Amino acid sequence: MRVKITSSPHFHSKNSTKSIMWNVSLALAPAALWGVYVFGIRALFVLLVSIVSSCFFEYILGYFDGNKDIKESTLYDGSAFLTGLLLGMNLTPTIPFALVILANAFAIVVVKWTFGGLGANWMNPALAGRVFVFFSFTSMMSNYTVPKTLEVVDSVGGATPLSFVKTSISGGLSNLSPSQILATSSYPTSSIATSISSSTGISPYAIDAFIGNIGGCIGEVSALLLIIGGIYLIAKKIISYHIPVYYILSFSLLTWMFAGVRDGLGLFSGEVLTQVFSGGLILGALFMATDMVTSPITKKGKIIYALGCGFFTFLIRYFGSLPEAVSLAIILMNIVTPTIDRYIVPKKFGYVKKIKAKEAK
């Protein structure tokens, strides 16, 4: 038997594609289940419809690609399940099921398989599906539900903290921080957040966003559970810390420095914690920006990519027309990833600088 030996280095990782996909899904499970708890049974149906439709389109396209035996289907690598789960977590609990299916069709058929399947897509399929239905059916994607853990106030309805603040500022309200705007409008807070806030001075809205007592998409509302899942993935060496840490730090720094300008409070007065824990920043930084296919290879490239994500998230969220910007920011940097990889190349294995080589002689 003739064995073909490829070029070095000959490294082997115990993290196969299959194990990576299912571990990421496992890390997302607590936040997804929390979303079902606070938003009710319909959130569960949205997640199930999303997962089933994603797997269905994956199997159908694999079938026409020659994988007619279901045992040889790409369903078993867990990528379609993960795409469906992530996409479902990025949708609102009230979204029509037809749109859930449409979003998954776009994610799997157009974004993933049109470019060659797993490993060949140029942007994150789940994010692409979310952005597609958001811009195509904006009103249906903006109908949020207030968690059952809060007492609903008629004046705020189902608005998320970010969308409520954006609307208030557009209406002429100024010289107030986001938490002050929410407080003056009697935006609801949980009793535990109020209690912790009174003893620590931290905004109760930041505390609720950290715990998961805010309106939003199904899987983005509990920063705490998402962070726990992210730490699990970092500990398993499935993702590196560079992208989420530099993403969140860059966004936080820009928020602290310049967010107060929009609010009429001047420089270095931005409210960081409420902005970091609200919306999809934590979900995006830990589980979507870290997608191996659409993020850079090298450590330096990952840092540049993460800084770009933080910059665009800040720019669109504060000075754009949309209250949220994570999906667009990550997709923009997905587009830039090939350019980053082209100019920030990894050092050749076994390479020694000429100066050091001469000194060794």
| Concatenated DSSP letters of 208-227 | HHHHT-S-SSTTTS-HHHHH
HEC-encoded secondary structure of 46-71: HHHHHHHHHHHHHHHHHHHCCCCCHH
Span 238-248, average pLDDT? 97
User: How sure is the predictor about 288, in pLDDT bands with cuts at 50, 70 and 90?
Assistant: very high
- Taking the C-alpha atoms of residue 134 and residue 141, their distance in angstroms, rounded to an integer, is 6
Q: Taking 60 as the threshold, does the pLDDT of residue 98 lie above it?
A: yes
- pTM, entire model: 0.90
Span 309-325, average pLDDT? 91
> What is the phi-psi region of residue 341: left when phi exceeds 0, alpha when psi lies from -120 to 50, beta otherwise?
alpha
Within the chain, how many helices (H) and strands (E) appear?
17, 0
pLDDT at 13: 61
Q: Which two tokens stand for residue 107?
A: 């994610």
Lowest-confidence pick of 1-5, 79-83, 109-113, 183-187? 1-5
Residue 86 CA: distances (Å) to CA of 10, 47, 81, 174, 181: 33, 9, 9, 36, 31
Span 262-275, average pLDDT? 91
Q: Which two tokens stand for residue 210?
A: 């950290």
pLDDT at 72: 67
**136-194 pLDDT, tens digit each:** 998 888 777 777 766 554 434 456 888 888 888 877 777 888 889 888 877 778 889 99
pLDDT at 62: 87
**206-242 pLDDT, tens digit each:** 999 999 988 889 999 999 999 999 999 999 999 999 9
pLDDT at 155: 39
Q: Distance of alpha carbon 360 from its chain centroid, rounded?
A: 48
Give the whole-number percent of the chain exceeding pLDDT 90. 63
Q: Taking 70 as the threshold, does the pLDDT of residue 54 lie above it?
A: yes
Span 76-94, average pLDDT? 95
pLDDT at 2: 54
pLDDT at 8: 47
Span 330-343, average pLDDT? 96
Q: Which residues contact 255 (CB under 8 A, 6 or more apart)?
A: 270, 271, 272, 275, 276, 314, 318
